[in-house]
């Protein structure tokens, strides 16, 4: 009975793996640049192979995301030190097929994208990622909102690089705000590009797609956007950026459905933050000894608990006792705090849709 109920709470990954129409989508990552502002790290290592966590690179994070969108093939648009990328990942990453399109020298994002469009079938659509971004943006939801025969761009809020001072007309300073979000958006470095619009890209041989093609597409009404104001996003352009990303990844583990981060761990109790993306679910699992309480901080979802579907939203609390089979499904992007006894590895997966090895 529980399995029948839990299967009604399906996830994006399983749906798309079973949908023949979704095979038209392929992944692509722009990872051919020199990464000059990250020297000396990039003198012998391509930017995409810089580690954001021990043994876990920027490129690996991106391929992980594309795999669990349901994509089965990714093109690496590589150049500088591409041999090292191929040596590390070869032709397969965790079941994701890899092909390489190599340029002899950096010729701009447009040149690399044109190389990609040359090898796509007429009905194929590319999900393209800049090779220096680390983000929790929900790519599945971006695909859901994509409109046929248009280009879609992830946009992300512009964060002030400085703290700001709030003023009153009588020359009083009222408060300080540390690096606030500004009322503007910037290019977030993820694009959905269909082969059907190839002619717009082929007008130029090389250069920056952001300057040469996207403005024209915008004028013709062919460029759309997808945004998530709260999703983590960082472009790793400097050593300071890298330090910020590495700090984000302290005690964090990426999951097919989002991520979990250990906040506090003592011999007596454990606190974790779970981030579950809209349309995704955890595995159906249980714990032998761990006694946990879920506190929904943001978003809305369903907790399947021993056959019962419990609708939860911000502020709700759910107790899960040991040996209780359960899963969590996100109706919206969800942030959950999990308070429990400190049994970090006490997980028994009963049914897992993601075909992962961990």
Catalytic residue numbers, as ranges: 179
Sign of the dihedral through C-alpha 41, 47, 51, 52: positive
3-state secondary structure at position 267: coil
DSSP state of 219: H
> The tokens 């032709």 sit on which residue?
91
- Between the alpha carbon of residue 215 and those of residues 210, 212, 220, the distances in Å are 7, 7, 9
* Inter-residue contact 120 to 95 (CB < 8 Å): no
Give the bridge partners for 191, in sequence order: 128, 153
Pairing of strands 25-31, 125-130: parallel
Which own/partner pairs from 33-41 qualify as long-range (CB within 8 Å, at least 24 positions apart)?
33/79, 33/80, 33/106, 33/131, 33/132, 34/80, 34/106, 35/80, 35/132, 37/237, 37/238, 38/236, 38/237, 38/238, 38/239, 38/242, 41/239, 41/242
* Inter-residue contact 331 to 300 (CB < 8 Å): yes
The Cα 183–Cα 126 span in angstroms is: 30
Give the bridge partners for 327, in sequence order: 304
3-state secondary structure at position 283: coil
Pairing of strands 56-57, 51-53: antiparallel
């Amino acid at each position: 009975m529980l399995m029948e109920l839990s299967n009604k709470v399906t996830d994006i990954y399983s749906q798309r793996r079973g949908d023949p129409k979704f095979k038209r989508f392929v992944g692509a990552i722009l990872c051919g640049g020199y990464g000059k502002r990250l020297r000396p790290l990039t003198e012998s290592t391509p930017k995409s192979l810089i580690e954001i966590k021990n043994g876990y690179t920027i490129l690996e994070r991106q391929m992980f995301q594309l795999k669990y969108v349901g994509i089965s093939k990714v093109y690496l648009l590589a150049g500088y030190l591409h041999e090292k990328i191929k040596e590390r990942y070869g032709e397969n990453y965790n079941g994701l097929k890899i092909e390489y399109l190599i340029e002899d020298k950096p010729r701009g994002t447009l040149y690399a994208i044109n190389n990609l469009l040359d090898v796509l079938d007429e009905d194929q659509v590319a999900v393209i990622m800049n090779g220096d971004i680390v983000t929790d943006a929900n790519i599945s939801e971006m695909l859901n909102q994509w409109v046929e025969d248009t280009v879609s761009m992830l946009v992300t809020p512009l964060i002030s690089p400085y703290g700001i001072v709030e003023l009153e007309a009588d020359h009083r300073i009222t408060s300080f705000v540390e690096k606030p979000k500004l009322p503007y958006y910037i290019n977030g470095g993820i694009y959905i590009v269909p082969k059907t619009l190839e002619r717009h890209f082929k007008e130029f041989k090389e250069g920056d797609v952001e300057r040469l093609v996207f403005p024209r597409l915008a004028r013709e009404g062919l460029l759309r956007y997808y945004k998530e104001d709260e999703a983590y996003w960082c472009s790793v352009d400097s050593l300071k950026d890298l330090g910020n990303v590495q700090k984000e990844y302290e005690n964090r583990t990426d999951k097919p459905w989002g991520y979990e981060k250990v906040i506090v761990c003592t011999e007596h109790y454990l606190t974790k933050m779970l981030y579950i993306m809209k349309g995704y679910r955890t595995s159906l699992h249980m714990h032998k000894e761990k006694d946990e309480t879920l506190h929904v901080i943001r978003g809305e979802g369903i907790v399947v608990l021993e056959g019962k579907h419990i609708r939860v939203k911000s502020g709700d609390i759910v107790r899960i006792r040991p040996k209780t089979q359960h899963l969590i499904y996100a109706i919206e992007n969800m942030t959950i705090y999990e308070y429990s006894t400190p049994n970090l590895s006490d997980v028994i997966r009963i049914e897992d849709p993601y075909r992962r090895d961990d």
